[in-house]
Amino acid sequence: QVRLQESGPGLVKPSETLSLTCSVSGDSITNSDFYWGWIRQSPGKGLEWIASIYYSGTTNYNPSLKSRVTISVDTSKNQFFLKESSVTAADTAIYYCTRGHYGGKTYYPPGEWGQGILVTVSS
């Protein structure tokens, strides 16, 4: 059974870069049946997709965040990452890493989620 675990700093200063890691166990991040993604949840904005990546390297970004966000993978460590630059208080949220099925050119909604990590943006 796949397990996803987020890690990273819980506190980031405004204007700095938020960096998160998702460690995957129980499946290979190169499994062509799945894609990997980040979703965040905040009281103000609710649930919001951030970005996703497929094992081939294909990435997809939320248009409203695209200029500040990068998603990447390290297949040797079976991990994927999120970097979000120039953060503000509006980026304060619980960040989840997820796995979803990919098939027939469709990115199906994620069936597996990490427990989430609270990231607070504050000086």
Partner 1 sequence: EVVMTQSPATLSVSPGERATLSCRASQSVNSKLAWYQQKPGQAPRLVIYDASTRVTGLPARFTGSGSGTEFTLTISSLQSEDFAVYYCQQYNDWRTFGQGTTVEIK
Interaction between residue 31 and partner 1 (CB under 8 A)? no
C-beta of 16 vs 101, nearer to partner 1:
101
Report in angstroms how near the CB of residue 72 gets to partner 1 at its nearest: 19
Q: Which of residues 76-115 bind partner 1 (CB under 8 A)?
A: 96, 106-111, 113-115
Residue of 30, 28, 12, 31 whose CA lies nearest to 20:
12
Of 39, 45, 26, the closest CA to residue 98 belongs to 39
| Alpha-carbon span 36 to 7, nearest angstrom | 15
CA separation for the pair 111, 67 (Å, rounded)? 27
DSSP 69-81: EEEEEETTTTEEE
Residue labelled with tokens 């990435």: 59
Among 7, 30, 33, 47, binds partner 1 (CB under 8 A): 47
Beta carbon nearer to partner 1, 16 or 41: 41
48 in contact with partner 1 (CB under 8 A): yes
Q: Are strands 93-103 and 79-84 parallel, antiparallel or unpaired?
A: unpaired
**How near is the Cβ of 123 to partner 1 at its closest, in Å?**
28
Please identify, among the stretches 13-21, 27-35, 61-69, 77-85, the one whose residues bind partner 1 according to the rule CB under 8 A.
61-69
Contact positions vs partner 1 (CB under 8 A): 46-49, 60, 62-64, 96, 106-111, 113-116
